[in-house]
């Protein structure tokens, strides 16, 4: 792989460069950001949970605020790495400003495909179609069945940005936002089809990265960027930014929700951070806490904010250094590891992940609402799947079909991947259900169940 091709500004809808306004000095990747930041799909992330669903206050992060934070961190990582690669003569000066802009957009859109109630929502969809196909494969090819059994927000995000978000069509095709190939390639964390998933082969084989419906789109992106069978190198930086954003921030939100106390966090980290750098990090937090007025009513919350800041500073430096250290192997497609596995960064990430798993993600305030939301998603999937499979077109089925997004129906009816197929009808259901916000999913389920009129 080489950076000149990896930073491809080609768009699949309009491969030729289109002239900008006379005073528009943005590069193509900065234009990508403007295309998505004003869209309804990004706004809907405000009502999708990061950890704690259906929160009426603005105290904890939503999927939107998380995505904004990832975008900021990713941009910073891209700028840092780009500057150093240019200093080393490994990146041409004409690409200045490209990496940061690509990663800012990728950070903002990386979770667009997540269904309501986050990763638990993904599990609900996977389980529903696994159980459904156990009874009847509905005539779907094995790869099509596996797409739904392994449904993942990453693959759905690619589908959304490249197809489902309708802006225009050309030559019988739709292109979604028609983002640059470099930006789209950067959100494909797992460049694998559903039948290729095999975690034992490495990180990039962990999950599905695209559905069969987007196989041609994926192939075109891969060809434009020259990634072959490997991840786009910027994926490593995006993934690091995502991990850095949520690991520390989820702990901060846990304190705000009283799922975990500051004293428990500090004791836990003291037990798990044994390196000199880890001990120094905790000492720095303690010094900062001593500077906070003892009468300040939210002293613990402010302390954990400083912990997040210091932790993220450490992890950002580690991620950039690790990327540069592994640069040649990454470009050769030979590096499958995480950027934050080694040294104090690995120690800190492991501690934060374990802390979240043991004390935050299993907290009653998160789990209770997730379980209720999961029941709602199961009901919605059953109702809308039955509707699209109803060959008789009864009153209930026609009504349910009419309830689905007109935009999604338009895509399914006019631009199917396999015209007339059950596969496309089921994708219409997953498009609609995964595109719902948490509160809208609950509302629709209650209305269909007669709980709310």
Over the stretch 49-108, which tens digit does the pLDDT of each residue have? 888 887 777 678 889 999 999 999 999 999 999 999 999 999 999 999 999 999 999 999
**Rounded mean pLDDT, 439-452:** 90
Distance CA 137, CA 304 (A): 50
User: Which of the four pLDDT bands, split at 50, 70 and 90, describes residue 303?
Assistant: very high
pLDDT mean across residues, the chain: 92
**Rounded mean pLDDT, 356-376:** 87
Q: What is the separation, in whole angstroms, between the first and last Cα of the chain?
A: 57
Asked which of 9-18, 330-339, 388-397 is least confident by mean pLDDT, the reply is 9-18
Predicted local confidence at residue 17, as pLDDT: 58
Residue with tokens 């040649």: 328
Residue 169 or 150, more confident:
150
CA distances from 359 to 247, 261, 265, 325, 365 (A): 13, 10, 10, 34, 12
β-bridge partners, 170: 173
Distance CA 421, CA 426 (A): 9
Distance CA 417, CA 270 (A): 54
User: Which of the four pLDDT bands, split at 50, 70 and 90, describes residue 171?
Assistant: confident
Three-class HEC string of the chain: CCHHHHCCCCECCCCCCCCCCCCCCCCHHHHHHHHHHCCHHHHHHHHCECCCCCCCCCCCCEHHHHHHHHHHHHHHHHHHHHHHHHHCCCCCHHHCCHHHHHHHHHHHHCCCCCCCCHHHHHHHHHHHHHHHHHHCCCCCCHHHHHHHHCCCHHHHHHHHHHHHCCCCEECCEECCCCCEHHHHHHCCCCCCCHHHCCHHHCHHHCCCCCCHHHHHHHHHHHHHHCCCCCCCHHHHHHHHHHHHHHHHHHHHHHHHCCCCCHHHHHHHHHHHCCCHHHHHHHHHHHHHHHCCCCCCCCHHHHHHHHHHHHHHHHHHHHHHHHHHHCHHHHHCCCCCCCCCCCHHHHHHHHHHHHHHHHHHCCCHHHHHHHHHHHHHHHHHHHHHHHHHHCCCCCHHHHHHHHHCCHHHHHHHHHCCCCCCCHHHHHHHHHHHHHHCCHHHHHHHHHHHHCCCC
- Any idea where the domains of the chain sit in the sequence? 1-19+27-260+310-453
Over the stretch 406-434, which tens digit does the pLDDT of each residue have? 999 999 999 999 888 999 999 999 999 99
Other CB atoms closer than 10 Å to residue 431's CB: what's the count?
Answer: 22
Residue 453 or 381, more confident:
381
Is residue 19 pLDDT above 80, yes or no?
no
Distance CA 415, CA 92 (A): 40
Over the stretch 173-195, which tens digit does the pLDDT of each residue have? 899 999 999 999 999 999 999 99
Q: Which CATH class is domain 1-19+27-260+310-453?
A: mainly alpha
CB 377 within 8 Å of CB 433: yes
């Amino acid at each position: 792989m080489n950076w000149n091709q990896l930073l491809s500004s080609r768009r699949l809808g309009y491969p030729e460069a289109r002239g900008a306004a006379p005073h528009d000095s943005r590069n193509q990747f900065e234009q990508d950001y403007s295309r998505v930041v004003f869209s309804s799909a990004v706004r809907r992330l405000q009502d999708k949970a990061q950890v704690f669903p259906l929160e009426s206050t603005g105290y904890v992060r939503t999927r939107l605020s998380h995505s904004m934070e990832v975008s900021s961190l990713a941009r910073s990582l891209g700028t840092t790495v780009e500057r150093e690669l240019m200093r080393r003569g490994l990146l041409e000066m004409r690409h200045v400003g490209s990496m940061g802009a690509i990663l800012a957009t990728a950070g903002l859109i990386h979770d667009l495909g997540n269904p309501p109630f986050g990763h638990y929502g993904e599990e609900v969809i996977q389980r529903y179609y696994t159980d459904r196909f156990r009874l009847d494969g509905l005539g779907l090819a094995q790869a099509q069945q596996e797409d739904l059994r392994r449904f993942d927000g990453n693959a759905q995000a690619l589908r959304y940005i490249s197809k489902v978000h309708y802006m225009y069509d050309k030559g019988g095709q739709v292109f979604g936002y028609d983002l640059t190939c470099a930006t789209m390639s950067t959100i494909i964390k797992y460049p694998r089809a559903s039948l290729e998933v095999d975690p034992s082969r490495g990180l990039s084989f962990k999950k599905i990265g695209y559905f069969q419906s987007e196989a041609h789109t994926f192939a075109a992106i891969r060809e434009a960027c020259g990634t072959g069978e490997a991840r786009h190198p910027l994926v490593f930086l995006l993934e690091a930014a995502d991990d850095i954003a949520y690991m520390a921030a989820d702990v901060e939100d846990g304190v705000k929700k009283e799922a975990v106390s500051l004293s428990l966090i500090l004791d836990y980290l003291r037990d798990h951070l044994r390196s000199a750098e880890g001990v120094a990090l905790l000492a720095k937090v303690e010094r900062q806490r001593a500077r906070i007025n003892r009468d300040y009513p939210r002293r613990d919350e402010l302390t954990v904010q400083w912990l997040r800041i210091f932790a993220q500073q450490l992890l950002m430096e580690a991620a950039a250094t690790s990327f540069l250290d592994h640069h040649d192997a990454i470009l050769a497609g030979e590096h499958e590891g995480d950027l934050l596995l080694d040294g104090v960064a690995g120690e800190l990430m492991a501690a934060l992940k374990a802390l979240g798993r043991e004390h935050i993600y299993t907290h009653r305030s998160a789990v209770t609402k997730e379980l209720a939301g999961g029941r709602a998603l199961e009901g919605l999937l059953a109702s809308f799947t039955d509707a699209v499979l109803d060959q008789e077109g009864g009153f209930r089925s026609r009504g349910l079909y009419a309830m689905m997004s007109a935009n999604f129906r338009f895509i399914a009816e006019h631009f199917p991947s396999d015209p007339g197929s059950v596969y496309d009808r089921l994708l219409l259901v997953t498009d609609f259900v995964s595109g719902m916000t948490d509160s809208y999913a609950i509302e629709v389920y209650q209305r269909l169940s007669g709980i709310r009129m």
